[in-house]
Amino acid sequence: MKPRLILTSFAAALLVLTGCDKSDSTAPSASAVPATAAGVKPYPLTVCPVSDEKLGSMGDPVVFVHAGQEIKLCCKNCRKDFDASPAKYIAKLTAK
């Protein structure tokens, strides 16, 4: 009887560890649309429009689409600044 209880407990623990989390951290968010999608303009710069840091210098860039324009930022913190004043940073894309 004990081996059956141990096996059942192990199987239950395995299910909890592998099957309970329905979120997929690698899944793109609703606003993350690939730049290859129809009508999306590709990002023209090699730097973050918020901080002017080289993209990739702080890890993988934060990539999303805003008003049909692909945007790449150096980090999550820059997203807050971008969202507060998107027109300011979009203007940098067309100025260069």
Domain boundaries, the chain: 32-96
SS3 26: coil
Tell me if the pTM is above 0.75: no
CA dist 68 and 59 (Å) reads 24
Query: DSSP states of 36-56 as a string?
Result: TSTTPBPP--SB-TTT-PBTT
DSSP run (H or E) holding 73: strand 69-73
SS3 of residue 31 by DSSP:
coil
Q: Rounded to 5 degrees, what are φ and ψ at 26?
A: -90, -10
pLDDT tens digits, one per residue of 9-49: 555 554 444 444 433 444 444 345 454 567 899 999 999 99
Q: Which pLDDT band holds residue 95 (cuts at 50, 70, 90)?
A: confident
